[in-house]
Structure 1
């Protein structure tokens, strides 16, 4: 078995043999996905890094791995500092590092199926003064040395029925056709897997935790479409569902099809499409226009059927989490439980509900110092015992046919310290401030982010991750285009106004390195709000997640009367809505834990 050091040496040898002085390795696939199939986990295979965001650059004598503040500790634990420089983003960039370390005249390779055109142009511009050339490679050098690389998934697709989708695929494609007419374009390329799943009302099992199928799509101005997917993924039911207006071709035919638009105009989203897609259309004589994929916003603004489905999924999921919280409160103090055993028990509770399709992401089950890693992933090597005197953080979610959930709770094992209670309560205050915000139409998540941080800022504290992300409808747990984050936060992208129907997370936190982590996360629905006497269109949030907060961690002396009222109203709602789904013992425990918190 090779080590990461062996793999780095092998990659350098391969680059040298192919007249390349370096190579850029992203953590993504040819669809610019956040979560990727095992076949596309090139960064993890090469470096050992297990985070969900990052990239690397390899030169002949030096290599660097680029991660943001979520992974400052994790990357140092998983990736050898003898082989790799640790580079933080957004403070530093790939272009900046290459400009400093690549020798003048160097040839740096990149895979055009793994990067956007914008990123490549940015790098090329930054490196031009040093006469460094970017070279598009036809075959990925990492793949050439990854001899046991997994094959892409061959799992079958399934139909997402209109009773759950709320709108037919034909109606969605008709909307795209109308958009194309307004834009003066002949076709739209749709490379993003979750957009394809939403547009065609199909789901898949090709990427762990995200119900999508490896595919591409081209939608034409007449409302017809070409879907490029491995033929053996189609069942008779899926074929019947797609109908005659959707022509199915092998996924391998996609690149060739892009070259068939000579004399025509093709709309492509530059944020979602890799450079190779633009290159192929233009090489065939077509004209490309950079436009945001219209399915992105339509997918984010959930229709009434999707919202109702999410409410049902949240209630079902909340009952499973409540059963788990009772279990961990009783069992952890006895000893013998670990991060892995606790995560397995929560999965069991969700499975016992009978509707779980998958987790929506790998559960973050973390105690003590592991809780200080916001995106920690427990392994057999990192697994810690859940012990008295520590905090236990559980961030998890489920994929159900009718919705995708994501929530975080913190449990004290034994008696929490005054500092733990102070930090938890400040995080809770920020959570409440965001949950109760009322704001005018056109407001972006970046404008609201400070509401969640203010109680921490007052104590000289902060957290190094975004406050909220969009969530799909039985789709990606991280969904664009809206976010609640500092504008400078990695991946924030352009400011996106919040709109009614969007579902976003509300998850402020606090992390004390080497000691503990705290995060409180619920999902929020953006709703229209009528403000008597107001003259502007206003929006607000409605909390969707149902799971009890930990009353033992609340320091009521830090709370206002309105904050106490919110907590008590929320807990009462949780108890009332979840009680019918629980047995007598779980119901009694929930009611006791949700009794009013007194000032």
Structure 2
């Protein structure tokens, strides 16, 4: 079993830990301290040793931060986590703050009118983040001060850094060797007159070197740093004990290996100019280079866009992983439909689904902790069931089931909303609106050059007509046996990155009624060149190919609300599910699939 149901947060420990932090602040002469949920690699998921936010506050969500002052401690969370934050932190000592509606700079001005030094760890903040905050504090008496981490000083039993094994990832799946990737990116540096690029994103390093790691649960990456030189050589800084002879041979002579402690010394010896990504690398790197006078230029991590534009072999591998995963989902759904209301708990659901994936023989890990939220728990978009929150599925509930698998050939992510017994009319109406939004994105043809912000509203339109919405993006990027949340591609009103062929995204509109139920439907899609239509203009268009195949529960659909093209899309999708997934199923599951995918 990959997933644990033990509650790891200790909100009861928050007040005494907060008091120790305030004493450390006073000793350091600081009026405030910032605690992000981040590590030196700016990953969404962090190792236990880097989960300082949860250790201090009890909040276990994957996004947020805390600002601690002598008389206030704000826990800043976005719309996905507001209910969770209120439930997990001691609100007598920590105050949940709606973010980004309330900006940190404004909150600090209001709570610290006399000013003072607000400290932060420069390993955990990017130059872009600090520049933005400093701009918000212009004219105030508040000063931002980089310093050694105060949380680490007061965390006596802080876990050790992870030591997961690093292994090669097959060139046949990647579509290019790491030598080819290094040479291609080095050429872009050379053409730009840049001598090197510093890379600190773990998934960028994994992609560049065709390696995978085991340092971060659910994400097959290794913690480390890299320097790509303009001649294609790479210096990799990670614990050498993580690599066996096979992994070292895979890297070859043009990739040198050194422990992370040598990273700073290597920076000191670089020739400039050095490319730095202002949005992703630690401010500490900038400070180190500036201290020795090495010229630097801002530029995007050279791996980000090539990683996002999947090769044909990567897409083919992902298709294969999704078929295997879709069969596991269908085996689970067939079993689920035979269980009467009141006989299953959320933990039962998670265990059975993981067992179905494991039965494929190819499961390496789950791609994130399964979200199995029934009734009011389903209204928490990132709910994680624990032994304390575990709930029995009752008649009339909706179950939001969001899950995925890590396979050697791909990363999957799928959400289905399932009725327990007979669904109510409000639930069916809202589900149908969510489905209409998901279908609208699936059917979309759009001009090249458009970004996620240009498309996000299309998924929301059916909900907006009913004054309904959801407080998360419509879709995130997804890697290939990499992170289930991958940038820079997104379907979000915040995303300005143009979508390009090969980018894989999720398509997951939803609706959440606090205290009652939640709804989300999610497939993964890949951006493709659209086939020209007769009578259309000659400019190129893009479209989406659906990668995920598992039926959408027809019991929740109010078919009268669907337009004919929407009904046609759903019927074609279900027919494709029968054709692609049916041959992979056991006899009972095949009969179930034939039944539930009949035309509306």
Q: TM-score, normalised by structure 1?
A: 0.97
Query: How many angstroms apart in 2 are the aligned matches of 1:428 and 1:146?
Result: 47
Write out per-residue CA displacement over residues 118-144 of structure 1, whole angstroms, 9 at most, x where no aligned residue. 22122223334222121111x211111
**Matched residue SS, 1:383:** coil
Map 1:552-563; keep pairs closer than 5 Å: 552-563=555-566
Partner of 2:382: 375
**Matched residue SS, 2:338:** helix
Partner of 1:43: 53
**Matched residue SS, 1:362:** coil
Measured after TM superposition, the shift of residue 90 of structure 1 is 1.5
| 2:193 maps to 1:184 | yes
| 2:474 maps to 1:467 | yes
| 2:42 maps to 1:32 | yes
Query: How many angstroms apart in 2 are the aligned matches of 1:172 and 1:381?
Result: 47
Query: How many angstroms apart in 2 are the aligned matches of 1:257 and 1:224?
Result: 14
Measured after TM superposition, the shift of residue 396 of structure 1 is 0.3
Partner of 2:529: 528
Query: How many corresponding residue pairs?
Result: 588
CA RMSD in angstroms, aligned pairs only: 1.1
Measured after TM superposition, the shift of residue 332 of structure 1 is 4.4
Map 1:116-515; keep pairs closer than 5 Å: 116-137=126-147, 139-261=148-270, 264-333=272-341, 335-487=342-494, 492=495, 495-515=496-516
| 2:16 maps to 1:13 | no
Match of 2:119 among 92, 109, 123: 109
CA contact (8 A) 2:340 2:421 kept: no
**Divergent runs of 4+, >6 A:** none
Query: How many angstroms apart in 2 are the aligned matches of 1:104 and 1:132?
Result: 8
**Matched residue SS, 1:3:** helix
Measured after TM superposition, the shift of residue 346 of structure 1 is 0.4
Measured after TM superposition, the shift of residue 252 of structure 1 is 1.4
Write out per-residue CA displacement over residues 103-123 of structure 1, whole angstroms, 9 at most, x where no aligned residue. 424111100000011221222
CA contact (8 A) 2:37 2:63 kept: yes
Query: How many angstroms apart in 2 are the aligned matches of 1:226 and 1:58?
Result: 38
Match of 1:544 among 527, 547, 565: 547
> Any unmatched runs of 5+ in structure 1?
none
CA contact (8 A) 1:211 1:475 kept: yes
Query: How many angstroms apart in 2 are the aligned matches of 1:332 and 1:69?
Result: 33
CA contact (8 A) 1:467 1:485 kept: yes
Query: How many angstroms apart in 2 are the aligned matches of 1:217 and 1:39?
Result: 21
Query: How many angstroms apart in 1 are the aligned matches of 2:105 and 2:355?
Result: 46
Write out per-residue CA displacement over residues 227-274 of structure 1, whole angstroms, 9 at most, x where no aligned residue. 00101011100100000001111111112211222x521001111111
**Matched residue SS, 1:194:** helix
Query: How many angstroms apart in 1 are the aligned matches of 2:78 and 2:486?
Result: 19
Write out per-residue CA displacement over residues 501-537 of structure 1, whole angstroms, 9 at most, x where no aligned residue. 0110000001111110000000001000132332211
Measured after TM superposition, the shift of residue 482 of structure 1 is 1.2
CA contact (8 A) 1:28 1:41 kept: yes
> Any unmatched runs of 5+ in structure 2?
1-9
Q: TM-score, normalised by structure 2?
A: 0.97
Partner of 2:4: none
CA contact (8 A) 2:38 2:46 kept: yes
Query: How many angstroms apart in 2 are the aligned matches of 1:122 and 1:586?
Result: 53
Write out per-residue CA displacement over residues 562-587 of structure 1, whole angstroms, 9 at most, x where no aligned residue. 11111110011011111111111111
